Structure 1
Amino acid sequence: MSCPAGPVARGERGSALVELLGGTIVLLVPLVYLVLTLVQVQGAQLAATGAARDAARLVATADPELWSSLTAAAVELAFADQGLVVDGSRAVTIVCQRDCGPGDRVVVTVRAAVALPFLPEGAGYTAEGDAWGTIDPHREHP
């Protein structure tokens, strides 16, 4: 008497489970890595854009002697909110339209290298954000 589902070939028992597990690993591992990488890149880009905006506000309102320390702290804080460590003093570039006097337009660019998960130190993503502001026109010019 034979089984109602039909005869089972010898050596084929349980291979569907092995194929399912193998296929799942082959597809799931790259998918998880892609999601981790996209989260890291998105967080870095969000931090760079927010840091540039905050740094431009600081430059527009703070004393020129304090610009470098304040903008470096703002950049480090913005990246720390995303769980990333960046040297704020090397990541910020401040360019004034003329002489950085009252009423002058200033452009702040934040550029920071961010390591991607499970990759060596040199392989990463460079997050970049820029913002502009106008230096307070009622401030005294030094």
Structure 2
Amino acid sequence: MEGPFVQVPRGVVQHILARRLSVNAYRIFMFLLEEHMSHAGTENGRLAAPYNQLEGLGIRRNSIRPALLELIEAGLIRRTDEGYMRQIARYELTFLHTRDRETGVSVAASDLWKRRPAPPSEKAETQAVSGV
């Protein structure tokens, strides 16, 4: 395998499929994975998603916030720094470990996605398709 990579647990993939994320939410999720890899996996919890870069992915500016909220509601990401007045908000991919900002000690993944199940009807359809 060439270059950096991120291991995404099967449960996260199934969760994404069951949630039926919008295309924009999926693009932002992939952008944050790429951001994580570009920092050698050391900046989870401090990942930036600048609007101008997201617009470069074909996401309209007025669609970015709803897509981010969709990912937060799904438990896939968590906003760790709100950002304001030209400050960029920061995010955590909840299925990956983070580092304590002060000590640098590794902190286990919050796995918020596990506490945010998909709506029952969609979950049942995904299980039927995946054979689980």
* TM superposition score normalised by structure 2: 0.28
Q: Compare CA radii of gyration and give the structure with the larger one.
A: 1
* TM superposition score normalised by structure 1: 0.27
